[in-house]
Amino acid sequence: MSESAEIKVGMSTTATRSEKDLIARVLAGETELFHELIRPYERLVYVTIYAILKNETEAEDAAQEVMISAFRNLKSFRGEAKFSTWLVTIAMNEARKRLRKAKVAAEDSLDEPGAEGEGDFTPAVLTDWREIPQAALERKELRAKLQEAVALLPEKYREVFVLRDIEELNQEETAAALGINVTLVKVRLHRARMMLQKILAPYLKSQAPLPVPGKPARGGFFRRWFQ
């Protein structure tokens, strides 16, 4: 194990321990500590809901409801799952409930592929991909385009994508939060990623910086060079 990995594991153990301690103290009556308990997860809860509901005001209201619900039901948290996964489960349920209410789900079913399997899928076929650097995210237009593409995914694919690739939960945590099995997580994630590639790659390719003459523009260059 590398040194950095050891440090990471050590930190996560400490974090878990103090989190358990915080939960116990909140339940014992030190309710003020709930503020501290949820602070690391404010973003997780908001972004999860926002990516599903696609509405800032609604997502903020829902995120508040989720945290209030977590506070009121903290005693039912058994510690079998991670606290973050428990919060995400509540957040996902709240988002689904609101989505059903708004009947937005109906429009999702229009382009929903019938089969759950990986099936035939054609990505956006292109060559000579030039990487978009993360610094380009300073541009509002690019951020909006990425959000828009995620919002276009049918709900069941969007849920998995948000938890796995935006919130970076692992497969088991994602499966637990959504109440599905790990195989289905993998299948849906694959489809979600391929749909996004199809939606976004042509746009991003048109936005990519031009390569500097004589300089490799991307990692794939070396594969071609040595072929």
Interface residues toward other proteins, by CB under 8 A: 31-32, 34-35, 38-39, 42-43, 46-47, 50-51, 56, 60, 63-64, 67-68, 71-72, 118, 120-129, 131-132, 134, 136-138, 142-143, 146-147, 150, 165-166, 168, 186, 189-190, 193-194, 196-197, 200-201, 204-205, 218-220, 223-224, 226-227
For residues 63 and 69, give the distance between their C-alpha atoms in angstroms, rounded to a whole number: 10
Query: Please, what is the minimum distance in Å from the beta carbon of residue 199 to other proteins?
Result: 9
Nearer to other proteins, 105 or 146 (CB): 146
Contact status, residue 70 vs residue 37, Cβ threshold 8 Å: no
Contact 173, 198 (CB under 8 A): no
Closest approach, Cβ 129 to other proteins, in A, equals 4
- List, in sequence order, the alpha helices (H) in the chain: 3-27, 33-38, 42-53, 56-72, 83-102, 105-108, 140-152, 155-161, 171-178, 182-207, 220-225
Name the phi and psi angles at 106, rounded to 5: -60, -40
Q: Which is nearer to other proteins, 117 or 214 (CB)?
A: 117
Three-state SS at 191? helix
* In the complex, least distance from residue 225 CB atom to other proteins, rounded to whole angstroms: 10
Q: How far is the CB of 22 from other proteins (least distance, A)?
A: 14
